[in-house]
Each structure stands twice: as C-alpha cells, then as structure tokens.
Amino acid sequence: MTGFPPQSAPHARAPGRVTIASARYYSLPTSFALALPLIGALGVGFLYPVSKLIALSFSEGTLAQYQRIIAEPLHISVFLSTLEVAMGVTLASLFLGFPVAYLMVRLRKGRAMVVAACVFIPLWTSVLIRSYAWVVLLQRNGIVNNLLTDAGVTDAPLKLIYTHGAVILAMTHVLMPFMILPIYSALRALPADYVRAARNLGAGALRAFVAVTLPLSLPGVFAGSVMCFVLALGFYITPALVGGPGSMLIATLIGQQTIVLLDWPFAAALSTVLLSVTLLFVLLFRRALSFSKGLNNVN
C-alpha cells in the first residue's frame, strides 16, 4: 500500500462542460448560448436605439445638424457649461464623499450602520422629490433665506435658486452615494496590516494615509468619479427644477428640441455628441486608472 491517498473517481461531465481542478469551464458554444439573452437585451435596448439615433442625425445625408452645433455659440456654451457643472459635481462628491466612506470603514458596526443608512436612504427617494426639496430650501422665501434674514445676516433674501451653484449643490446631494459606495468598497478591501506596518515603520497617521490608504483607494475613487461624471453629464430633472432657464445644460437643451421645437434630427445630433463626449471621458478615466495601477506596481 502506498502512502498516497486513493484517487477519487472522476465526476461525470455534462455535455459541453469541462471540469478542471474544481473549476467549471464551459465550451464556446455553451458560453455563447448562456450569454445570448444578455446579448439580445443589449442589442434591443441599447445598440439598436443608439444606431437609430445616430442615423437620424444624418437624416439629410449631410453634416448639417452638426454644423448647426458649431455655428451657434449658444450650443457650444451649453456644452461647456455642462462639462463645468459635471466636473464641479464630481469634485464636490469626491471631497465630501471620501471622508464619509472612510468613516464608514473605521467606525464600529452599529455606528457604521447608522452612517450607511444616511447614505442609502436618499437612494430610496425619488430624484424628483429630492430636487424639489432643494427648491423649497433655496427659493426666495425658503427656509435658508428666512434663517439668514431672521438671524440678521442679510437684509434681503439672496438669489440662491436658479444658479449654477444651486445646480451643483443639488446634483452633488443626489449623486454623492454613487461616489461613496465604490470608495467604501475599495477601503473595505484594504488590509489593516498595511497601515499598521507603515505606522510601525515610523510613519504618522497622515503619512500612512497619504502613502498607503489613498493610493490603494484610487480604483474606488476612479470608479465613483466615472459614475458621478457620466450621470451628471446627462442629468435632466435636477437642472430643470433647480437651475431654471438661466442654467441650461445639454440634457435640458435636448429635451427642449424634442418636446417644444420637435426638431428630432438636431436633438439626435446633440445626443450623439453627448454620447461621444461621455465615451471619451470614460476611456480617459480608464486610461488614468491603468496608469495609476502601473505606478503602484512599479513602486
């Protein structure tokens, strides 16, 4: 008798499935069959509408609709304003959301659950309700202006609503959970031994955070930034309610072209440009994330 354990009988394999080292790998036809419903849903729900949208923007067989975008300074201004607001919302969500995610990781379970509830509860509320709440807070006779005048800080109500600042504030409140959750996931996966080793080697709390915690949390930061920026580019309800006609963004302009002016080819051209800008920034974020991982591996 040898000292080796007896080999178990090979498991029966179903057709199209290969079992190797307790992991199951499906053949190419089986994998394609399993992914076919998802591919069909992607084609019907995304690829077909997008292709029809792009084709509609070239309905005249020329670039006339895109030339209208470039020829009119208002359209360029709206695009730049949209990028400015989206970047402001992303940065505000990052600076406000990172401490919250860090706090959720460091607190004990009971207190962390309270903070997590404060993050999740807004997600269960309609965006329309949350945006209208900011209208109630920031309007001329709203709660904020009443508090300022009653406290003697201002003599007359301030113009807080229908400004770029109000749009950025309201959109940050709506989108900040999409920044907190990826950062929390990245910080949660960070082993505590790394920070403990840095402290044992003489690094202070700030030095350990800058040299260890912050670089290793960058995947969560990039993921949250991509989601916030992309969602902010196409936001419609909050800018329409809080920004008003004086703070028109690209989504509001597209809605105006489709609902009010019924200029569908021009709206399709605006949507195609917005989609192209969104894909460009997603690729840039992915490139930056890959570069960051490369630096971490080198170091």
- Band of pLDDT at residue 71, cut at 50, 70 and 90: confident
Cβ atoms within 10 Å of 181's Cβ, excluding its own: 21
The average pLDDT across 65-88 equals: 87
pLDDT greater than 60 at residue 3: no
- Of 7-16, 85-94, 100-109, 256-265, least confident by mean pLDDT is 7-16
- At residue 205, the pLDDT reads 80
Residue-range domain boundaries for the chain: 66-298
- At residue 292, the pLDDT reads 57
pTM for the structure as a whole: 0.78
- At residue 244, the pLDDT reads 75
Fold of 66-298: MetI-like fold (1.10.3720)
Q: Is 57 within 8 Å of 268 (Cβ atoms)?
A: yes
- At residue 152, the pLDDT reads 78
Which of 47-61, 108-122, 220-234, 252-266 is most confident? 220-234
- Beta-bridged to residue 20, according to DSSP, are 23
The average pLDDT across 240-260 equals: 83
- At residue 206, the pLDDT reads 84
pLDDT digits (tens, 9 = 90+) for 172-216: 998 999 999 999 989 888 887 888 888 888 888 888 888 888 888
Q: Maximum CA pair distance of the chain?
A: 98
Distance, CA of 242 to CA of 142 (rounded, Å): 13
pLDDT digits (tens, 9 = 90+) for 133-180: 888 888 888 888 888 888 878 888 888 888 888 899 999 998 999 999
